[in-house]
């Protein structure tokens, strides 16, 4: 079967597109899944670029969606023919977080879904939303569950609250859709006025071009009449954290989701203290959160926004497209047999 594996020194140029042995029949408690799609996340690029260390030969890509081809003894959650989507933390089933790091994460600590067939324990997957294409389903594992956990699980967002979103990548666009379905007011930032117009068409209440307003934290305060945002989904990391804290209301929540600008930086301690801000780390979520998210999608009718779809052999080009910043929403990979 066709697969994409990491080769050291890790880079887009050293990705190994080749055949590997078929995993065979599922054992007790396992399912065999024909993978039809994956989607790109910054975490995947961290592995592929060597920023996050992973074993030589690792099959890359955390997200996978496809069809159950066979089930092992004792499997109760699935039957042959079910459309399924992978979980980011296969061993975190429910409850509060008890996992630190990526040792169990597909495409990082264990082999991922940049391949045609996978055999895994049934609890490593959930059912995909009814009527979703495989590409749409593949966007849920990382970006979708992250947005859902921040807003619904950690934030308990209420109608009338204000949510600030940074940029128009997969997490932020999912969060825009979810927040509006919850009755929240949404403010979103981008360096592209064209992208901001798309956000307004999707229901964003206010938009800020951060190239035109470098002090976008102050702009958020102006737009909220001095109150500030109840929730900020912080995806940038050190380079944007100070502005996010400036934008949040006293007692509000900064959901620390990403570190696009690096792992370390200055923390605006005085603002955290003065505003009594809560910062919540959000590293995707549990299988139960994913199941709840799937149910929410089926109830609300929300569909993922897909920017472009590439073939598996075009994975390096897909990441170059992501790095260009030209995308809006998710970039997907179609895996054809």
Q: Are strands 248-256 and 229-234 parallel, antiparallel or unpaired?
A: parallel
**Among 210, 147, 167, CA closest to 326:** 167
> Which domains does the chain show, CATH number per domain?
2-139+304-334 (3.90.180.10), 144-281 (3.40.50.720)
CB 175 within 8 A of CB 150: yes
pLDDT of residue 336: 86
pLDDT of residue 274: 87
CA-to-CA distance for 240 and 244, rounded, in angstroms? 6
Tokens of 58: 């690792």
Residue 321: left (phi > 0), alpha (psi -120 to 50), or beta? alpha
pLDDT of residue 261: 47
Start-to-end Cα distance in the chain: 8
Q: What is the pLDDT of residues 42-88, one digit of tens each?
A: 999 999 999 999 999 999 999 999 999 999 999 999 999 999 999 99
Q: Is 314 exposed, middle or buried (0-12, 13-18, 19+ CB in 10 A)?
A: middle
- The model carries a pTM of 0.96
Low-confidence ranges of the chain (pLDDT < 70): 259-265
Q: Is the dihedral of CA 106, 111, 116, 117 positive or negative?
A: negative
- Residue 9: is the preceding peptide bond cis (ω within 30°)? yes
């Amino acid at each position: 079967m066709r697969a994409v594996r990491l080769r050291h020194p890790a880079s887009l140029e050293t990705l190994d597109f080749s055949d590997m042995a078929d995993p065979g029949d599922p054992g007790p408690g396992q399912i065999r899944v024909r993978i039809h799609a994956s989607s790109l996340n910054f975490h995947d690029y961290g592995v592929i670029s060597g920023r996050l260390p992973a074993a030589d030969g690792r099959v890359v890509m955390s997200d996978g969606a496809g069809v159950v081809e066979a089930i092992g003894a004792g499997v109760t959650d699935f039957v042959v023919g079910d459309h399924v989507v992978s979980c980011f933390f296969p061993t975190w089933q429910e409850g509060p977080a008890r996992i630190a790091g990526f040792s169990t994460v597909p495409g990082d600590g264990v082999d991922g879904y940049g391949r045609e067939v996978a055999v895994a324990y049934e609890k490593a997957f959930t059912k995909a939303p009814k009527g979703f294409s495989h590409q749409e389903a593949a966007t849920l594992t990382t970006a979708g569950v992250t947005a859902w956990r921040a807003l619904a699980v950690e934030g308990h967002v209420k109608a009338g609250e204000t949510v600030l979103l940074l940029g128009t990548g997969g997490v932020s666009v999912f969060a825009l859709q979810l927040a509006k379905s919850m009755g929240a007011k949404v403010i979103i930032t981008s360096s592209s006025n064209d992208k901001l117009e798309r956000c307004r068409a999707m229901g964003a209440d206010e938009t800020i071009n951060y190239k035109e307003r470098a002090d976008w934290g102050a702009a958020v305060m102006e737009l909220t009449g001095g109150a500030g945002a109840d929730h900020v989904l912080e995806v940038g990391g050190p380079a944007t954290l100070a502005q996010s804290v400036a934008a949040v209301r006293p007692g509000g929540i900064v959901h620390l989701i990403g570190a696009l600008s690096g792992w370390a930086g200055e923390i605006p301690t005085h603002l955290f203290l003065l505003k009594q801000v809560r910062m919540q780390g959000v590293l995707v979520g549990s299988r139960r959160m994913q199941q709840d998210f799937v149910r929410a999608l089926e109830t609300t009718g929300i569909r993922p926004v897909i920017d472009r779809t590439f073939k598996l052999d075009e994975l390096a080009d897909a990441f170059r497209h992501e790095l260009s910043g030209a995308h809006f929403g998710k970039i997907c990979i179609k895996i054809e047999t």
